[in-house]
Amino acid sequence: METHYETLLVNKENGITTIAFNRPEKRNAMSPQLHKEMFQLLTEIRYDPETRVIVLTGTGDNFCAGQDLKQYSLEMESQPPQVRDEVREKVRRWRNEMLRTLPQPVIARITGWCLGGALTVVAGCDIALAADDAVFGLPEVNFGHFPAGDTTAMLTQHLQPKHGLYYALTGKMMSAKRRNGSVSSRWRFRVWIWTEKLPRLPNRLRKRVLWVSRRSKRPGTTVPMLRRMWRTRYPT
């Protein structure tokens, strides 16, 4: 399995493969090159016998700032229609289908910004562990855009309709922090985007991800079967 990429860092250790978005100067915003590399990596990792658990994260202080709209436009405008369609299909497949249908469990380790299209990545993961400084949001409206692609569909599945529309219309950020020891009433959703919030202390989040990863690293076919059954019943 290829482990050297331009926009990704890949580390394999004790059955756990960690994939980090590696564009820290852009807060790990997703470019066409990153989409191509994620599609290639997830295609290969499905059949990697050494990978029992996958952890998705970002280098630096942020998980992912969504789509790099400037870079995406620059690269795509110069391409023929066929190439543009191929890239869009890879974007849709790796964020929407491939994450959900991998035989290995996928854990998101989230710090800092998780914006726009990055929410679809988190929704595709089985478990999402967020630092208490993590912020989630749909800032597209601030730039004269709207949450395109699968982002809007994901929000309608994970948030109550009026709450999802509120954040899409206002561009307001959602914080992983708790208020006065309890969850803000606005965040009493039927499904949370993240699974658990942890203090961003030295190695606290990393240790928690490692603990969950080890617990998820079961032998045999139990985990793939459980994951497939769960995703069939709850496809979001």
Per domain, the residue ranges of the chain are 8-227
Pairing status of strand 113-115 against strand 135-137: parallel
18, 5 Cβ separation under 8 angstroms: no
CB proximity list for 105: less than 8 A, separation 6 or greater: 53, 54, 126, 127, 216, 223, 227
- Distance (Å, rounded) from C-alpha 135 to C-alpha 115? 8
Quote the pLDDT of residue 194: 60
CATH H-level superfamily of 8-227: 2-enoyl-CoA Hydratase; Chain A, domain 1 (3.90.226.10)
CA distance 171 to 166: 8
Q: Which residues of 131-169 are buried (b: 16+ CB within 10 A; e: fewer)?
A: bbbbbbbbbbeeeeeebebbbbebbeebbeeebbeebbe
DSSP conformation class of 26: G
Return the residue matching tokens 């789509």: 67
CA distance 172 to 163: 11
pLDDT for residue 148: 65
Angstrom distance (rounded) from CA 38 to CA 35: 5
pLDDT in tens, the chain (236 residues): 767 899 999 999 989 999 999 999 999 999 999 999 999 999 999 999 999 999 999 999 999 999 998 887 777 788 888 988 998 899 989 998 899 899 899 999 999 999 988 999 998 898 888 888 889 888 877 777 767 667 766 666 766 677 777 777 888 888 876 433 333 434 333 334 566 666 665 577 777 777 777 776 665 656 666 666 666 655 55
Q: Which pLDDT does position 140 carry in this prediction?
A: 77
CB hemisphere CA count around 118 (13 angstroms):
34
* pTM (two decimals): 0.81
pLDDT value, residue 111: 92
